[in-house]
Structure 1
Amino acid sequence: MAGYKEHISVSGLLGIGYGTVSTFFFGFTPTQGVLSGVLCWIGGMLPDLDSETGRPIKELFSLTAAIASFVAMRSMIRVSTDPDTAILVAVVTYAAVRYGGSFILGKFAVHRGMFHSLPALMIAGEAVFLTYTSDSYAVKFLMAGGISLGFLSHLVLDEVYSVERKGVILRLKKSSGSALKWFGKGLFGNAVAYAILLTMTYITLVESGVLVPPQQVAPTKQAPPPIQQASPFKTTERF
Structure 2
Amino acid sequence: MASYRGHLKFSSMLAVANGLLATFYFDLDWGTSLMAAGITAVSGLLPDLDSSSGVPVREMFNLTAVVVPLMLLKRMLGFGLTEDQTFAILAILYVFIRFGLSNIFRHLSVHRGMFHSIPAMVIAGGLVFLCYTHDSTLLRVYMAASAMVGFLSHLVLDELCSVDFNGVSVELNQFAGTAVKFFGPSLFPNLFAWSLCIAVSYFAWVDFEHHALAVKDGKKPNSDGLHVMPPKVQPLTKTIKPVAQPFSQL
Establish whether TM, by shorter chain, passes 0.5: yes
Structure 1 range deviating more: 180-189 or 200-209: 200-209
- Offset of residue 167 of structure 1: 2.6
Q: Partner residue of 1:163?
A: 163
- Offset of residue 209 of structure 1: 2.5
Separation (CA, whole Å) in 2 of partners of 1:130 and 1:68: 11
Q: Secondary structure at the match of 1:209?
A: helix
Q: Partner residue of 1:71?
A: 71
Aligned-pair RMSD on alpha carbons?
1.7
Letter in 2 for 1:182: F
Q: Partner residue of 1:203?
A: 203
Q: Partner residue of 2:51?
A: 51
Structure 1 range deviating more: 152-161 or 78-87: 78-87
Q: Partner residue of 1:60?
A: 60
Once the two structures are superposed, residues 150-179 of structure 1 have per-residue CA deviations (whole angstroms, 9 ceiling, x without a partner) of 101000000000001123111100100000
Separation (CA, whole Å) in 1 of partners of 2:72 and 2:36: 18
Q: Partner residue of 2:247?
A: none
Q: Partner residue of 1:19?
A: 19
Separation (CA, whole Å) in 1 of partners of 2:196 and 2:96: 19
| Maintained 8 Å contact 1:7/1:44 | yes
Once the two structures are superposed, residues 135-154 of structure 1 have per-residue CA deviations (whole angstroms, 9 ceiling, x without a partner) of 11121011111111110100
- Offset of residue 73 of structure 1: 3.0
Identity, % of aligned positions? 37
Separation (CA, whole Å) in 2 of partners of 1:58 and 1:26: 35
Separation (CA, whole Å) in 2 of partners of 1:72 and 1:33: 18
Separation (CA, whole Å) in 1 of partners of 2:182 and 2:8: 24
Query: Number of paired residues?
Result: 213
- Offset of residue 29 of structure 1: 1.8
Q: Secondary structure at the match of 2:2?
A: coil
Q: Partner residue of 1:100?
A: 100
Q: TM-score scaled by structure 1? A: 0.85
Separation (CA, whole Å) in 2 of partners of 1:131 and 1:84: 20
- Offset of residue 207 of structure 1: 1.9
Q: Does 1:128 align with 2:128?
A: yes
Q: Does 1:37 align with 2:27?
A: no
Instruction: For structure 2, list consecutive stretches of 5 or more residues without a partner in the other structure.
Output: 214-250
Q: Partner residue of 1:226?
A: none
Q: Secondary structure at the match of 2:174?
A: coil
| Maintained 8 Å contact 1:8/1:45 | yes
Q: Partner residue of 2:219?
A: none
| Maintained 8 Å contact 1:73/1:89 | no
Separation (CA, whole Å) in 2 of partners of 1:169 and 1:60: 37
Q: Secondary structure at the match of 2:209?
A: coil
Letter in 2 for 1:113: G
Letter in 1 for 2:167: G
| Maintained 8 Å contact 1:72/1:93 | no
- Offset of residue 80 of structure 1: 2.6
Separation (CA, whole Å) in 1 of partners of 2:53 and 2:93: 21
